[in-house]
Amino acid sequence: MHLIDTPGHVDFTYEVSRALEACEGAVLLVDAAQGIEAQTLANLYLALDKDLTIIPVLNKIDLPAADPDRYAGEIANIIGCEPSDVLRVSGKTGEGVPALIDEVIRQIPAPVGNADAPARAMIFDSVYDTYRGVVTYVRVVDGKVMPREKIKMMSTGTTHELLEVGIVSPEPKATAGLGVGEVGYLITGVKDVRQSKVGDTVTLARGGATEPLTGYREPRPMVYSGLYPVDGSDYPVLRDALDKLQLNDAALTYEPETSVALGFGFRCGFLGLLHMEISRERLEREFGLNLISTAPNVVYRVVLEGGEEVVVTNPSVWPEGKAREIYEPIVKCTIIAPSEFIGSIMELCQSRRGELGGWIICPRPVSNCVTPCRWPRSSSTSSTPSSRVLADTRAWTTRRPASRKRHWSRSTSCCRVRRSMHSVRSCTRTPPLHTATR
C-alpha cells in the first residue's frame, strides 16, 4: 500500500490532479475541530471527477474543540454516505488508525495495467537531493522499469540512464525494479529538476511507448511580482539564490529587471499568492536576504492593431498605441453559502467586474444526524477577472485579523476555482454585468 500526501491549496491544483491520477482511491481527511475547508472540497471534486474511491475520515478527535458528530453529518451530506460511515481517528493518540488502514485495504481496488506492454510511468513529484541529484517519484502504469536501463522523458525527448530504482517504506530502499501499479523513485544523476516535470511520462529509450499518458501540461505562472534586495550589493546573492531555489521548484520562473526606485532585481512568476509567499520566505530564511517585493499582478496578452501579440507581465512595459484585443485571466468559481448572503455576494461579484451565472437553492438534506448549520444554502457560479481576486485576496490576508479570516473561511464553505483566458474588448471598457437568475 502506497500513500501520497498532496498539498491542498489551489495554487497546486495541477500537482494534486497528477497525484490523484496515480491513485485508485483517496482518504478525505477533515479536521474535527475546523470542519470542511474550501480547498478540501475543491480537491474532493477532483477525486470524484476521476471516479476514485473516497474514504471519509475525521482527524484530531482528541482535541477539546472537536465536534465529530456535527462534521460527520456535513461530510455525509456532501458525498452521500451515512454519518456512521465516516471514520474517526486521532493521529496523536493512534485511536482509529488500525480501523482506517483496514478500511483502505478493503475498499481501495487493486491497480490495473498491462505488464507486457512497453513501460510507461507517470511522474507525480520530484525533489532535488544535494548528493544524488533529482529524485523522481513515479507510478508505473504499464510494463516494468529496471536499473541500468535508459529511459526517455516523453515531453522533452531527453534520455537518461537509471542509476537506482527503489521504493519508499518509509525510508528509500533500492529494489530490482518497479512493476505495474507500483510506486517508487528513480535516480538518474540529473541535477536539474526541470528535466523531471510533474505529469510527464517516463518510458524506455529503446522499444518504449509511443503514446504518453494523458493530462500533462507545462507549469504556467499566474502571478508575477518583482523581487529586489534592500542592499543593492546583494543582487548577485539573490541571483544565485534563485538559481538554487529553482532546483527544487520547477514552477518558479524569473528574469532580470531594473527599477528607477528599487535598482536591480528579478521579475518572478509564481503559481499563486501562496507560492509567492513561500518562495520569498525561503529566500529570506535560507539565504539570509532582505527583500522588497512589488505588488503582484497577473499576465495580460495584448493583440496590437497590426496583429502583433505581446505578453505583458509588468505594467511598466505596457505596449504603446492602440490595442485590438486584450486577454486577461478569468477565475471561474462556485460559491456555496447560506442564503441570507445572496445579496452581498451578488454585490461583491458585480463590483469586481464579475459575471454571475445563476443560483441554485440547496434545501436541507435528509439525514439522521442533526448538524447545527445554516440552511438552506445557495450555490452560485461566477466569472471574475483574476486581477480583482488577486488584489482582494492580498488585502484580506494582510489586513483582516485572524479571527475574522477563520470566520470567512467557514461561511464560504466551498470555492471551486478554475483559471482560463478570456478576451476583453477594450482596455478602457468594462464587460457588461449580469444579474443573477433566481
* Tens-digit pLDDT profile for residues 70-83: 888 888 888 888 88
* Tens-digit pLDDT profile for residues 115-135: 889 999 998 888 888 888 889
For every residue of 37-77, DSSP letters joined together read: -HHHHHHHHHHHHTT-EEEEEEE-TTSTT--HHHHHHHHHH
Confidence at residue 361, expressed as pLDDT on a 0 to 100 scale: 61
Q: Which three cell numbers stand for residue 323?
A: 490595442
Band (pLDDT 50/70/90 cuts) for residue 319 is confident
Confidence at residue 363, expressed as pLDDT on a 0 to 100 scale: 53
Band (pLDDT 50/70/90 cuts) for residue 101 is very high
User: Between 38-49 and 68-79, two packed helices, what is the crossing angle to 10 degrees?
Assistant: 40
Task: Check pLDDT > 80 for residue 398.
Answer: no
Confidence at residue 413, expressed as pLDDT on a 0 to 100 scale: 30
Confidence at residue 340, expressed as pLDDT on a 0 to 100 scale: 78
State the chain's mean pLDDT as an integer. Answer: 79
Q: Which residue has the higher pLDDT, 200 or 431?
A: 200
Confidence at residue 120, expressed as pLDDT on a 0 to 100 scale: 92
* Tens-digit pLDDT profile for residues 228-240: 999 888 999 999 9
Would you give the distance in Å from CA 381 to the centre of its chain? 20
- What residues does 381 pair with on adjacent strands? 334, 358
Task: Check pLDDT > 90 for residue 215.
Answer: no
Across residues 54-77, what is the average pLDDT?
A: 89
Across residues 22-33, what is the average pLDDT?
A: 89
Distances (CA, A) of 248 to 79, 191, 199, 242, 421: 36, 10, 16, 10, 28
Q: Where are the beta strands (DSSP E) in 271-387?
A: 291-293, 300-304, 309-312, 323-338, 355-362, 377-385
Reference 314, options 226, 230, 392; nearest CA is: 226
Report d(CA 392, CA 331) in Å as an integer: 13
Task: Give percent of the chain above pLDDT 90.
Answer: 18
Across residues 317-332, what is the average pLDDT?
A: 85
Global pTM?
Answer: 0.71
Task: Check pLDDT > 80 for residue 111.
Answer: yes
Band (pLDDT 50/70/90 cuts) for residue 382 is low
Confidence at residue 247, expressed as pLDDT on a 0 to 100 scale: 78
DSSP element (H, E) containing 217: none
Q: Poorest-confidence range of 90-99, 187-196, 264-273, 369-378? A: 369-378
Confidence at residue 313, expressed as pLDDT on a 0 to 100 scale: 81
* Tens-digit pLDDT profile for residues 133-178: 889 999 999 999 999 999 998 888 889 999 999 998 888 899 998 9
Task: Check pLDDT > 70 for residue 364.
Answer: no
Band (pLDDT 50/70/90 cuts) for residue 58 is very high
Q: Which residue has the higher pLDDT, 9 or 185?
A: 185
